[in-house]
Structure 1
Amino acid sequence: MMKELQTRKTELKDISEEAKEKRNQLNAEASKYAAERNELNNKTKDLILVAQDLKVKRDEVNVNVSKYKDLRDTTNARANELFAKADGLKKDSSLDGPSIKEIRKQIDALEFQQQTSVMSPKKEKELVTKIKELELEYSEKKKSLDNNSELKEILDQAQVIRDEASEYHAQLSVYAEQAQVFHEQMIAAFKDADRVRAESDVAHKNFIRAQEAADEQHKVFIEAQKEIREIDKETGKSKKKDKDSKSKQDKEELEKDAQGIMDKFKDGGKLTMEDLMALQRSKY
């Protein structure tokens, strides 16, 4: 029985040491994944802060976008009212049709074509004729417009307002482009945060897996240690029992020897020093 217990104790020691080693390795692995997870979580927080800061900047710029959009639209509406009023006066004065500005653009485009393009004499003649017609129309409209002070004043005023609206639109475009840049950077930062968060989730799952495996090995270690203590306890009981049994046997032998010495003494025999010491050790 004692031999079987010692054999089992040796097996349990091996199991305990192996479980302890695996547990420590798994705990180290869990710590590594925990550190990785924490680092990724901090990185995620930093990216979210960057994204939120970009969102604030975008929204601040969009305030100016809305401001200049309203100014542009309001100013364009005023210009349109004046141009509509001018169109009415043009019809009354037979000045409707393309504006002087549009006619001038057509003339400039045709003259550029004449100077830069290679064409047949017939085609060039047609082009020259068209230019002359437009120049005549331009001249007549300009003369009529110059003679119509009310129309000229309205058109001049409308053009000033339209130019003002164009300036507002230019400002709007600058702020809109800036807002778009902030928006794209914000989206990129949020996407990076999502990507890093996903990596953090993987690290956390690995941490949980390693931690649970370490806990299982710790349970094996604890159970083995518990059983070893039980074997030691059982072995101790057995040793005590053997010791008690031997002590009883020795005592019985001592009493037997003492009884013989006493019988010898009663029969008139002489006692030696060894006999006296033996009697002293016994109940006599």
Structure 2
Amino acid sequence: MQKELKDKRKDLRDASEEHKNKRNELNAQASTLASNRNELNKRTKDLINEAQEYKKLRDENNEKVQEFKDLRDKTNEKANELFGKVDELRSANNLTGPSLKEIRKDIDRLEFSQQTEVLTPSKEKELVNKISELRKLYDTKKKQIESNTELNDLLTEAQEIREEASGYHSTLSEYAQKAQEYHDKMITTFKEADKIRAESDTAHKEFVQIQEKADEQHKAFIAAQKEIRDIDKELRKLKKKDGGKKGADMEEVRKDAEDIFDKFKSGEKLTTENLMTLQKSGLL
């Protein structure tokens, strides 16, 4: 019985050590996964903060876009009103027809053709005459406008306001470009954060799985230790029981030895068995 218990105890100690080593190995893996997961979570948080900063800058620039859009639209509206008055004055002073700007544009276009195209003599003469007519028309209309102080002042003011509106539009475009750049950076950074978060989720799942396996090994280790303690208790009981039995047997041997020794002193012959009993009792 004791041998069976001791053999079982040895097997349990071996199994317990194996469970402990496996548990420690799995806990080390879980610790590595937890560190990796925590680092990924930190990177995700940093990326989200960065993306939020881009969002803030985008919104600030969009506010500027709206601000200068309102300024541009109001200024254009004012310029349109002035150009409307210019048209009214032109009509009143028989100055209708193409504007100075339109005439200048036509002259530039025809001069460019004259310089770059291969023309027949007749075509080139026709082109030169057309340019000459437009220049005369331009000079005449310019003098008429310049001689009309009210019209000239109104036209000058209208053109200045239109240029102001154009300036607002240029500024608006710059803010719009910046807003788009920050928007693109925000989207890219949020996507990167989503990617890192997915990696973190995977690392966490692996951590949970490894930790569960480590817990199983720990439970098996604890169970083996408990069974070893139970066997130790049983062995102590058996040892105590065997010790009591041995003591009782020795007492009986001692009594037999004393009887035999008395017989020996009385002169009786002793058998080999009697001698062995005396030897075992310590009396011989």
TM-score of the superposed pair, with normalisation by structure 2: 0.84
> Identity percentage over the alignment?
55
The residue identity in structure 2 corresponding to 1:101 is K
**Matching of residues 67-78 of structure 1 within 5 Å:** 67-78=67-78
The residue identity in structure 2 corresponding to 1:215 is D
Match for residue 104 of structure 2?
104
**Shift in CA distance, 4/130, structure 1 to aligned 2, threshold 3 Å:** farther
Deviation at 1:151, TM superposition (A): 2.2
Q: Distance in 2 between matches of 1:15 and 1:120?
A: 109
> How many residues were matched structurally?
270
Structure 2 unmatched runs, 5+: 267-277
Match for residue 35 of structure 1?
35
The residue identity in structure 1 corresponding to 2:59 is D
**Shift in CA distance, 94/14, structure 1 to aligned 2, threshold 3 Å:** farther
Deviation at 1:24, TM superposition (A): 0.8
Please, what is the CA RMSD of the aligned residues?
A: 2.7
Q: Distance in 2 between matches of 1:44 and 1:187?
A: 14
The residue identity in structure 2 corresponding to 1:162 is R
Deviation at 1:122, TM superposition (A): 4.4
**Matching of residues 197-276 of structure 1 within 5 Å:** 197-258=197-258
Structure 1 residues 126-174: Cα deviation after superposition (integer angstroms, max 9, x where no partner):
4334323433432343233234332222211100111111122222222
Structure 1 residue matching 2:202: 3-state secondary structure: helix
Deviation at 1:261, TM superposition (A): 6.7
Q: Distance in 2 between matches of 1:130 and 1:244?
A: 142
The residue identity in structure 2 corresponding to 1:220 is A
Q: Distance in 2 between matches of 1:121 and 1:9?
A: 122
1:131 paired with 2:131, answer yes
Q: Which stretch of structure 1 is more off in the superposition, 22-31 or 185-194?
A: 185-194
1:192 paired with 2:174, answer no
Match for residue 48 of structure 2?
48
Match for residue 271 of structure 1?
none
Match for residue 8 of structure 2?
8
Q: Which stretch of structure 1 is more off in the superposition, 222-231 or 180-189?
A: 180-189
**Matching of residues 83-98 of structure 1 within 5 Å:** 83-98=83-98
Q: Which stretch of structure 1 is more off in the superposition, 198-207 or 118-127?
A: 118-127
Structure 1 residues 179-237: Cα deviation after superposition (integer angstroms, max 9, x where no partner):
22222222222222222111111111111111111111111111111212222222222
Q: Distance in 1 between matches of 2:114 and 2:191?
A: 56
The residue identity in structure 2 corresponding to 1:7 is D
Structure 1 unmatched runs, 5+: 268-277
**Shift in CA distance, 12/98, structure 1 to aligned 2, threshold 3 Å:** farther
Q: Distance in 2 between matches of 1:25 and 1:143?
A: 98
**Shift in CA distance, 95/262, structure 1 to aligned 2, threshold 3 Å:** farther
**Shift in CA distance, 101/242, structure 1 to aligned 2, threshold 3 Å:** same
The residue identity in structure 2 corresponding to 1:165 is A
The residue identity in structure 2 corresponding to 1:251 is E
Q: Distance in 2 between matches of 1:101 and 1:77?
A: 20
Q: Which stretch of structure 1 is more off in the superposition, 2-11 or 30-39?
A: 2-11
The residue identity in structure 1 corresponding to 2:128 is V
Deviation at 1:264, TM superposition (A): 9.3
TM-score of the superposed pair, with normalisation by structure 1: 0.84
Match for residue 150 of structure 1?
150
Match for residue 270 of structure 2?
none
Q: Which stretch of structure 1 is more off in the superposition, 31-40 or 142-151?
A: 142-151
**Shift in CA distance, 94/251, structure 1 to aligned 2, threshold 3 Å:** farther
Structure 2 residue matching 1:96: 3-state secondary structure: coil
Q: Which stretch of structure 1 is more off in the superposition, 22-31 or 48-57?
A: 48-57
The residue identity in structure 2 corresponding to 1:31 is S
**Shift in CA distance, 247/120, structure 1 to aligned 2, threshold 3 Å:** farther
1:119 paired with 2:123, answer no
**Shift in CA distance, 2/127, structure 1 to aligned 2, threshold 3 Å:** farther
Q: Which stretch of structure 1 is more off in the superposition, 64-73 or 103-112?
A: 64-73
